[in-house]
Structure 1
Amino acid sequence: MTSITGIIITLNEQDNIEDAIASLRPVCDEIIVVDSKSQDATVALAEAAGARVIHQAYLGDGPQKAFAVPQASHDWILALDADERLDPDAVAAIRALPLDDAQTAYRFKRRNFAGRHWIRAAGFYPDPVTRLYNRTTSGYLPKKAHSSVQAPQVVDVDAHLSHFTYRDLSHWITRIDQLSSRDAWAMKERGVTPSALRPSVHALTAMLRKLILKGGILQGQDGMTVAMTTAFHAYMKYAKLNELYENERAGDNR
């Protein structure tokens, strides 16, 4: 089997990092963790699990995921988020891949969970994500939020990642708070300007997309939950962007 380097980015992921590393072990000869100043046991647990830890202050989603790539020992890169796991069918599929074409990256189906509940409604499944690529031709776009792999061609693999996104509904709301703050920072970094209308417009658009275009209105509680939380996330990231500019102006006027 062709050698693969697994890469995981972390910030306070002590509850996830061991399982993420363990899921990569069957297919990766090397695992690198890029940690952005975790305050918990993430680093110690990663090192104890056999990963090589590189310390790097957070650069944004795409740049952070790309940071360790030049330091990898192998050209084939398998990137996981800390709360993702390779399912057994993904392990089997990766072992069977020829990995003889550097132009090809591989995309997997992702199963998103809230606690033990698999959320399939309103576009939450199959939620395809490209995770395996060759660094000589492909890599993460330099987007600071919600980056993705750009490759000459992408092949869909009929196999799964499990994404343990939220411990429960309360954690879902907490994560929206965290991620919307990060998204607002990333938007400001790339020069998105404040707007009084954007929070409401983007929230309404997100809700209609999930309810109507993605069929959430016909998918019961899960469909409504996805629509409501997606709209809330959209609203908060633009509201927080406005807040960042307000705080900056207030600082300039002191």
Structure 2
Amino acid sequence: MSTRAPISGVVTTFDNAATLEACLASLAFCDERVVLDSGSTDATRDIAERYGARVSVRPFEGYGPQKQHAIDLATHDWVLLLDADESLTDAGRAMIERTLQAPRADGYRLPRQEWLFWRWSHAGARANWQLRLFRKSRARMNTVPVHAAPTLDTGAPQDLDAPFRHYGEPHLADRVEKVNRYSSGMVVNKRRKPIRGLGLRIVLQPYVAFLKLYIGKRYFLNGWAGFFAARTHAFYTFLKYAKVLEAQRERDQSP
């Protein structure tokens, strides 16, 4: 029987006591679990140590740099990168175990199943595929603020039907707070180069974003939860462009 390549489960944390146990339990099959904490004040680090994770602490310097440092701490070349509010399903674990017996790519995109306020997303809705399983020697985190993600140095990742779950915000107020925070974080990135048709983007892009999620990804199958998710995503799209315009006007009016 073939043995699989060793793998490091990597997680970044900050006050994630409510969800970290499920995350680390789902990574029990990994050859090591690495947790990089940003200075939690709750039981996050105690939980990580109880699950046998190798815990380090580093002040938060941005999503991309923090995740990259966590990846660099991994002992093994193959990394499974999860957020602390995510967990791998049993089916996902089995698929990864089989795939790493004879990997055919340097990275794999996995389908993320979303918790939408009070329910899991409908099976007929389209999953959000993300690069989460990769050789750390062939991948780096990109520099996009807030939504930083790993990218392969060369070649394209393959899709692997190894689902993982994201325990999203349980309340609409939590989602709105996150939308406001994330849109502010995107302003610096959006201002790095001129945005053509900024006014039109402010007006039209929220509608496009809503339709892409509600119709394109079939969130209409999720009832009101899907509608709320699509509408708050449209609001996020509006805010990130509106805040760029606001910053431009404030800069132009400054003495």
Give me the TM-score of the superposition, normalised by structure 1.
0.81
SS state of the match for residue 136, structure 1? helix
Distance 1:6 1:211, change over 3 A: closer
Q: Output the CA distance in 2 between the equivalents of 1:217 and 1:92.
A: 31
Asked whether 1:89 is paired with 2:108, we answer: no
Q: Which amino acid aligns with 2:67?
A: K
Q: Output the CA distance in 1 between the equivalents of 2:183 and 2:92.
A: 30
1:63 and 1:143 in contact (8 A); partners too:
no
Q: Pick the aligned partner of 1:56 from 47, 55, 58.
A: 58
Residue identity over aligned pairs, in percent, reads: 31
SS state of the match for residue 234, structure 1? helix
Instruction: Report the counterpart of residue 209 of structure 1 in structure 2.
Output: 212
Q: CA offsets per residue over residues 112-144 of structure 1, 9 Å max, x none?
A: 0124401249x9632111211011222332322
Using the TM superposition, give the Cα deviation of residue 87 of structure 1 relative to its aligned residue in structure 2, in angstroms: 0.4
Q: Which amino acid aligns with 2:7?
A: I
Asked whether 1:66 is paired with 2:52, we answer: no
Using the TM superposition, give the Cα deviation of residue 159 of structure 1 relative to its aligned residue in structure 2, in angstroms: 2.6
2:24 and 2:51 in contact (8 A); partners too:
yes
Distance 1:117 1:211, change over 3 A: closer
Q: CA offsets per residue over residues 22-49 of structure 1, 9 Å max, x none?
A: 11112x1211122223333323332332
Count of aligned pairs between the two proteins: 249
Instruction: Report the counterpart of residue 105 of structure 1 in structure 2.
Output: 107
Runs of at least 5 residues in structure 2 that lack an aligned partner in the other structure? none
Q: Which amino acid aligns with 2:18?
A: D
RMSD: 3.1
2:125 and 2:217 in contact (8 A); partners too:
no
Q: Output the CA distance in 2 between the equivalents of 1:171 and 1:187.
A: 24
2:10 and 2:35 in contact (8 A); partners too:
yes
Q: Output the CA distance in 2 between the equivalents of 1:220 and 1:167.
A: 16
Instruction: Report the counterpart of residue 236 of structure 1 in structure 2.
Output: 239
Give me the TM-score of the superposition, normalised by structure 2.
0.81
Q: Which amino acid aligns with 1:89?
A: A
